Structure 1
C-alpha cells in the first residue's frame, strides 16, 4: 500500500469516531478560525482585521488552551 492510499484509509476509518452533529445547537452564519501559538495567532490577527472590514458576521477563534493564547494577545484580539 502506498503512502497516499494508507492515509486515505486512515482518514476514512476515523470518520466512525466523529461524534454526531449536535442538533439545535447552532444556527445562523458565522466564521470559525483555528489558531494557536505565535505564528498562527499572528496570522489570525491579520485575518480578523481583514474580515472586519468586509463583514459583520460573528467570528469565533478556537485554540487548544491558555498556553496557546497569552493574555496580551487575547486583549489585542478583543479590540
Structure 2
C-alpha cells in the first residue's frame, strides 16, 4: 500500500522523513529505548497493542472498503 511520506520539521533546519507509518513507529520506538525512557520489552508490547487498537478502530469506524482492484489491501 502506498503511503504519503511523513515529514517532521524540528528546531532549525533539522528534518526527519519516513516512508510509512511503520517506519516512523520503529524509529520512535528505538529512540525511546536509546534515551532510556522505555525498556525494549515494553516498547514491543506497546507497538503490538497500538497495532491491535488501530485494527479494531478501523474495523468499527471506517466504512467497508469498495470492491475492485486493490480492495483486498484495505481489508483487515
**TM-score, length-scaled by structure 2:** 0.32
Larger Rg: 1
